[in-house]
Structure 1
Amino acid sequence: MYLSHTRAADTHRTRRPGRSGGRGGGAGPGRRIPGTVLALGAVSLLTDASAELVTAMLPLYLMYGLGIGYLRLGALDGLYTGATALFRLLGGWAADRLGRPKALAVTGYGLSALTKLALPAAGTSASAIGALVAADRTGKGIRTGPRDAMIAAAVPDGALGRAFGAHRAMDTCGALLGPLLAFAVLLAVPGGYDTAFLVSFCLAASGVVVLVCFVRPDPRPGTPAPAAPAGATPPRVKLLAAALSPEVRRCVLAAGLLGLVTVGDMFFFLAVQQRAELPVRALPLLPLGTALVFMAAAAPLGRLADRVGRWRLFLGGHGVLLAAYLLMPAAPVGWLLPVLALALHGLFYAATDGVLMAHVAPSIPAGARATGLAAVQTAQALARAGGAVAFGGLCAVVGLGPAFTLYAALLATAIAVSARLGPRRTTP
Structure 2
Amino acid sequence: MYLATTGRRDAPPAPSGARRRVSRTVLALGAVSLVTDVSSEMVTAVLPLYLVVGLGLSPLQFGFLDGLFHGATALVRIAGGQFADRAGRAKTVAGFGYALSACSRLGLLLAGGAAAGIAAALAADRLGKGIRTAPRDALISLNSPPDGLGRAFGVHRAMDTTGALLGPLVAFALLWATADAYDAVFVVSFAVGLVGVLLLVAAVPADAPRPPRPRGNGRPRIEGSRAAGRGPFATGPAASRAFRRLLAATALLGAATVGDAFLYLLLQRRYDLAVTWFPLLPLGAAAVYLLLAVPAGRLADRFGRRRPFLYGHLALLAGYGLLLLAPEGGTGAAPVLVVALVLALLGVFYAATDGVLMALAGPLLHRERRAGGLAVVQTVQALARLVAATGFGAAWTLWGPGPALALALAALAAAALCASRLLPRTDTAPPDTPSQDSASPASPASPAPPPAVPSEGFSS
Determine if the alignment matches structure 1 residue 248 to structure 2 residue 243: yes
The structure with the largest alpha-carbon Rg is: 2
C-alpha separation between the residues in 1 aligned to 2:295 and 2:198?
29
- On the 8 A contact 1:243/1:371 being kept in 2, the answer is no
- On the 8 A contact 1:275/1:328 being kept in 2, the answer is no
Q: What residue identity is the alignment partner of 2:303?
A: V
C-alpha separation between the residues in 2 aligned to 1:15 and 1:275?
59
Q: Corresponding residue for 1:71?
A: 60
Determine if the alignment matches structure 1 residue 318 to structure 2 residue 313: yes
Of 129, 142, 156, which residue of structure 2 is paired with 1:167? 156
- Return closer, same or farther for 1:206/1:19 CA change in 2, 3 Å cut-off: farther
- Cα distance, 1:126 vs structure 2: 1.9
C-alpha separation between the residues in 1 aligned to 2:305 and 2:82?
25
Q: What residue identity is the alignment partner of 2:423?
A: G
Structure 2 length as normaliser, TM-score?
Answer: 0.85
Q: What residue identity is the alignment partner of 2:379?
A: T
- On the 8 A contact 1:34/1:154 being kept in 2, the answer is yes
Write the deviation string for residues 235-265 of structure 1: whole angstroms up to 9, x where unpaired: 5327641331221111111101100010011
**Is there any run of 5+ residues in structure 1 with no aligned partner, and where?**
1-5
- Cα distance, 1:127 vs structure 2: 1.8
C-alpha separation between the residues in 1 aligned to 2:215 and 2:53?
58
Q: Corresponding residue for 1:297?
A: 292
C-alpha separation between the residues in 1 aligned to 2:209 and 2:339?
50
C-alpha separation between the residues in 2 aligned to 1:171 and 1:17?
34
Determine if the alignment matches structure 1 residue 427 to structure 2 residue 460: no
Determine if the alignment matches structure 1 residue 283 to structure 2 residue 278: yes
- Return closer, same or farther for 1:393/1:18 CA change in 2, 3 Å cut-off: farther
Q: What residue identity is the alignment partner of 2:62?
A: L
C-alpha separation between the residues in 1 aligned to 2:74 and 2:284?
27
Write the deviation string for residues 257-295 of structure 1: whole angstroms up to 9, x where unpaired: 100010011101101112233223322211111111111
- On the 8 A contact 2:6/2:145 being kept in 1, the answer is no
- Cα distance, 1:21 vs structure 2: 2.6
Q: Corresponding residue for 1:3?
A: none
- On the 8 A contact 1:317/1:347 being kept in 2, the answer is yes
C-alpha separation between the residues in 1 aligned to 2:67 and 2:125?
14
Determine if the alignment matches structure 1 residue 229 to structure 2 residue 217: yes
Determine if the alignment matches structure 1 residue 384 to structure 2 residue 378: no
Q: Corresponding residue for 1:20?
A: 14
- Return closer, same or farther for 1:218/1:230 CA change in 2, 3 Å cut-off: closer
- Return closer, same or farther for 1:424/1:349 CA change in 2, 3 Å cut-off: closer
Determine if the alignment matches structure 1 residue 266 to structure 2 residue 261: yes
- Cα distance, 1:93 vs structure 2: 1.0
Q: What residue identity is the alignment partner of 1:355?
A: V
C-alpha separation between the residues in 1 aligned to 2:300 and 2:187?
39
**Is there any run of 5+ residues in structure 2 with no aligned partner, and where?**
330-334, 427-453
C-alpha separation between the residues in 1 aligned to 2:290 and 2:75?
28
- Return closer, same or farther for 1:357/1:308 CA change in 2, 3 Å cut-off: same
Q: Corresponding residue for 1:402?
A: 403
Secondary structure in 2 matching 1:198: helix
C-alpha separation between the residues in 1 aligned to 2:111 and 2:205?
37
- Cα distance, 1:117 vs structure 2: 2.4
Determine if the alignment matches structure 1 residue 211 to structure 2 residue 205: no
Q: What residue identity is the alignment partner of 2:302?
A: R
Q: What residue identity is the alignment partner of 2:358?
A: M
Higher normalized helix content (fraction of residues) = 1
- On the 8 A contact 2:101/2:128 being kept in 1, the answer is yes
- Cα distance, 1:59 vs structure 2: 0.9
- Cα distance, 1:228 vs structure 2: 6.3
Identity over aligned residues, as a percent?
51
C-alpha separation between the residues in 2 aligned to 1:236 and 1:315?
32
- On the 8 A contact 2:309/2:352 being kept in 1, the answer is yes
Secondary structure in 1 matching 2:392: helix
Q: How many residues are aligned here?
A: 415
Report the aligned-residue RMSD. 2.3
- On the 8 A contact 1:158/1:306 being kept in 2, the answer is yes
Of 186, 193, 199, which residue of structure 1 is paired with 2:175? 186
C-alpha separation between the residues in 2 aligned to 1:149 and 1:64?
39
Determine if the alignment matches structure 1 residue 358 to structure 2 residue 359: yes
Q: What residue identity is the alignment partner of 2:349?
A: F
Determine if the alignment matches structure 1 residue 155 to structure 2 residue 144: yes
Superposition map of 1:48-197 within 5 A = 48-197=37-186
Secondary structure in 2 matching 1:377: helix
Deviates more, 1:193-202 or 1:391-400: 193-202
